[in-house]
Homo-oligomer: A and B are copies of this chain.
């Protein structure tokens, strides 16, 4: 920097102002600015972020903290969100680093904060993927007293934590809308486990149906287990035989369709199925699986940019606000009209 200043015939202070785009405020001549830019060009000068971080306390870096990194990398969900982070950060000239996995043991969160301070991170993205783990929320709250934190939840849970997440309402509405238009009246729901999360989804389905004057049969909530126990699903299905189903997630949808086919149920002739996730397997499978595509890249991008904006404006991210992002229903071969419609 000193060399640049000398080459341009100005002082290092001037160079600093120009490099940081504060030349205008400081009222520096156009000519002087040009001279500085020329010098930078000639000398191949690259400013040192570390040095400026030392004095300003600003590193232009944020951290990503996850609640369960195995899922983060094993499902395509996590990696798509990551992809959004990369884009979002890049667009604003920021970078991000991974910190500890909060849930490995009970002291990880202090490590996170320590790392964040060591590296002068300006904010944290908290990736919530295990649903309703009270501990994760508490850690988030605790972290957010020392550093800006924005939460991202990328699994499907209508009653999950506030923060950036998919618009579950919309997802359900889109599916029901499509089914009803095609004449389906008895609509089922399937998931790997029937837990609190599934139950809230069922509640949303129920309300969507009610708004259309249809009712939901509680018997149409199906557990779609692994292959070794898939028989229980088939049996349960055959008792009710709904003509349409929403299944969480695509993998479960594939297993359900396959198992049902062996029992003589044809998709989409006898049953229409919409999965969730839009994973690559949707198009490898036959019939190609209709699915709801969650806006994961968008969530990642918007979340990190919101965080950055808060950091730059000096405002604390709102911890209580729900940011629902709308995805898209992707219709393929596994959906059709209700039998006899």
Contacts and interface: CB of A to CB of B under 8 A. Distances in A.
B281 A281 contact: yes
A120 B285 contact: no
A204 interface: no
A69 interface: yes
A207 interface: no
Nearest to A46: B117
Interface string A82-106: 1100100110000111101000000
Interface stretch (A48-56, A131-139, A153-161, A318-326): A48-56
Given A49-B119, A95-B98, A119-B49, A283 B226 contact: yes
A107 interface: no
Contact of A251 (B47, B89, B97, B281): B281
A48 B254 CA distance: 51
Interface string A117-159: 1111000000000000000000000000000000000000000
Interface stretch (A23-31, A71-79, A209-217, A232-240): A71-79
B285 A46 contact: no
Interface residues of A, number: 53
A119 B50 contact: yes
A255 interface: yes
A94 to B, nearest CB: 10
A50 B60 CA distance: 12
20 contacts: A46-B117, A48-B54, A49-B120, A50-B59, A61-B97, A72-B79, A73-B79, A73-B80, A74-B80, A76-B79, A82-B82, A86-B98, A95-B98, A97-B97, A251-B281, A251-B284, A258-B286, A259-B286, A279-B280, A281-B284
Given A49-B118, A49-B119, 9 more contacts: A46-B114, A47-B118, A48-B117, A69-B86, A73-B83, A90-B98, A95-B119, A226-B283, A281-B281
